[in-house]
Structure 1
């Protein structure tokens, strides 16, 4: 059997394992390890397993993952995330669709703390769905806006997706974080615009909430100021060159924990549970990364990346056409695969192609992560949709998928804008380093 045949067979086995719900890391471990054994030797496979595990486990850049996750967990259990929602609700809740728009803004704010789309959807679902139901919001709109708004967690920094991309492609985490800021705000604005359009056409779907006085508005904004200040400090610190991403994570987490203990909103038990969840999530990410460093050599030995690269190059699509084709492949894969698995499997194939075409790797990273976001609300997997379903069990799953469709369209619009105007993503990282 040729190397290419073994490679194709290994990828097929990987998809079968994933379809059988074998954890992503374990499936990639098995395929990568035994694939290297078949194409090289057992000694090489064992050597790679030992060396890559140690190298990744001792990588200081990965500290950013557990620390930012811890910050988001503490912000959630102390109610800081609700204060973001309350502030947005006090300002715009009295207009049609205001509660839904406030939910999007709250998702964006919480995304800047947690870096997790699932955590954003779960937290804001618990906070906002009950309020929207109380004021008579259509279930499709309310659940759809929470599921879609939660996707901001993987684009607005800190983003676990950007960290994974940076490790796999050897890019700067700081530059990627900054590159995600303006596209994240653009997507947030497009979501709010869609809510406004929906409620303008069909006002009954998103009735106006009660008016709030100036005093109530100021009180709600005051309650959210600490968490807004932390967001500005961490992202602004990276942009200003005062902090590395790891240092920004440590500063942000430290302040959030300090505020929680000083105000009495954080108990030792809550802190322990938040820390344990951060460790478990980080361990999962680490296993996936270690498995990636086994499957990547297997793919290289099988020559599949080179073969695919030659095939795409032979199509003669040009830079934009090739980029659109790759993103379309990501879009299709997102309907069936988990985001981290897609990054690990596809970047060894696609990244050399786009860099050979002269595509900026930071810009490409933003486009890829944004496309991965779309997979979070695409059927049949759509993990954010299932998260919202767990919070709103009475809403049919089909209704939630219908509810996210307008926001999925806005994500396509956002991708198109970023392809047409790459400086939206590159402005902040380029000004920081120039």
Structure 2
């Protein structure tokens, strides 16, 4: 076994390789390679082929390209436009007006696409021109879109949950169920924050819009039915016991193709663009998983998880103290690493410690997803910040950062609440399973 100092040095090496621009998968593989060569020599590298095979030969990973493809089809089928119009009709009279539509549309779209980046880009393209025209505060507008899009990895189906479940052998169905209540609660918390800001500073919400006639509002509900129907089908077949998460993803893709066909948006060009994007995103994710699998193997061989666990026990830290340290750890790490890389790189070391402390792996999966959500809008690396700024094409990235800051604070407070009220996460999985 090696000590905590050597393990920390290895982690700093991996972080340094990422910061100088090496791809995440390459940085993880090189870190594992150096660690293996310095401690165990060439024989351990003979297992690399087996590690690739065992890491990728997992049926559940097939769900990743399927859910990515599902999101890509919805992005290109115009679902977001109708969804935003519908929610605008129903939410415009709340304090904060159309800012609530940003959160609501992000939550519904995220529940189907499972991608925060796709949600930020899609809702941003729809919402920013409308809110700019109506003189809404630019910072808060950008902040609501960036923060609302983070719901894409919390509300199921979530690609990040699939990866977490695959790496930790945790039930995907339970993880999906565990994300529903916190996802809804966080959505409502975001909307409550917007209402509070608008009540104290009415100028941020622009002029009050007149209410839409009830007949038009009821007609607009037809626009929200396709994404809700796809979500209901995808989740229903899982919890009804009729399909695995991978099979449900395939069913969701079929439903998305039907929706695109019904909207007359389905053609060869759309399919080609969606497939190319799916291949690129899926290849990136799966290559990172290959590097992580080898790194995980080397970390296990070196006894790093056992060393870390023993070190924590010697310090006398309990589960609550460790979780607060992890909040700080991931908050700092989120400033320098992309969220998926952050999760995959740290799980091999952190997860054994969590199990040793008796923390439920399903609950920890939601905790980790919340930390990744926060990382998506934490400067300077927060991906959603740059997606929204790219859509705005005006002003400074600092506007998006300041607009997102209240939501970062809210998410941290929400995470702390889950530590003391774990039933909010575990109630639905325990009910269904």
TM-score by length of 1: 0.95
Residue 224 of structure 2 aligns to a residue in which SS? helix
Aligned residue in 2 for 1:166: 165
- Aligned-pair RMSD on alpha carbons? 1.8
Q: CA deviation at 1:379?
A: 1.4
Contact 1:6-1:302 within 8 A present in 2 as well:
no
C-alpha separation in 1, matches of 2:229 and 2:353: 41
Gaps of 5+ in 1: none
Aligned residue in 2 for 1:344: 344
C-alpha separation in 2, matches of 1:2 and 1:330: 23
Aligned residue in 1 for 2:140: 141
Aligned residue in 1 for 2:66: 67
Residues 376-405 of structure 1 show CA distances to partners (whole Å, capped at 9, x for unaligned) of 111121111111111112121112111011
1:50 and 2:49 are equivalent in the alignment: yes
Aligned residue in 2 for 1:218: 218
Contact 1:186-1:414 within 8 A present in 2 as well:
no
C-alpha separation in 2, matches of 1:394 and 1:185: 32
Contact 1:148-1:404 within 8 A present in 2 as well:
yes
C-alpha separation in 2, matches of 1:398 and 1:3: 41
Residues 232-265 of structure 1 show CA distances to partners (whole Å, capped at 9, x for unaligned) of 2212332333332112111111011022124311
Aligned residue in 2 for 1:128: 127
Residue 180 of structure 1 aligns to a residue in which SS? helix
Q: CA deviation at 1:203?
A: 0.6
Aligned residue in 1 for 2:374: 374
Residues 146-201 of structure 1 show CA distances to partners (whole Å, capped at 9, x for unaligned) of 01011111111111211121122111111111111111111111100011001111
Residue 98 of structure 2 aligns to a residue in which SS? helix
Q: CA deviation at 1:60?
A: 0.9
1:390 and 2:390 are equivalent in the alignment: yes
Residues 395-419 of structure 1 show CA distances to partners (whole Å, capped at 9, x for unaligned) of 2111211101111111112112211
Q: CA deviation at 1:5?
A: 6.6
C-alpha separation in 2, matches of 1:95 and 1:157: 27
Q: CA deviation at 1:4?
A: 6.6
C-alpha separation in 1, matches of 2:324 and 2:5: 28
C-alpha separation in 2, matches of 1:132 and 1:153: 22
Q: CA deviation at 1:33?
A: 2.6
Q: Superposed, which structure 2 residues align to 1:169-180 within 5 Å?
A: 169-180=168-179
Aligned residue in 2 for 1:192: 191
Aligned residue in 1 for 2:315: 315
Aligned residue in 2 for 1:106: 105
Residue 89 of structure 1 aligns to a residue in which SS? helix
Residue 96 of structure 1 aligns to a residue in which SS? coil
Residues 119-159 of structure 1 show CA distances to partners (whole Å, capped at 9, x for unaligned) of 11111111111111111100011000001011111111111
Q: Superposed, which structure 2 residues align to 1:206-245 within 5 Å?
A: 206-207=205-206, 208-245=208-245
C-alpha separation in 2, matches of 1:337 and 1:233: 34
Q: CA deviation at 1:375?
A: 0.8
Aligned residue in 2 for 1:283: 283
Gaps of 5+ in 2: none
Residues 81-102 of structure 1 show CA distances to partners (whole Å, capped at 9, x for unaligned) of 2222111111012333121111
Aligned residue in 2 for 1:295: 295
Q: CA deviation at 1:271?
A: 1.1
TM-score by length of 2: 0.95
Q: CA deviation at 1:347?
A: 1.5
Aligned residue in 2 for 1:19: 19
Contact 2:309-2:356 within 8 A present in 1 as well:
no
C-alpha separation in 1, matches of 2:426 and 2:9: 39
C-alpha separation in 2, matches of 1:178 and 1:197: 30
Contact 1:94-1:212 within 8 A present in 2 as well:
no
1:92 and 2:64 are equivalent in the alignment: no
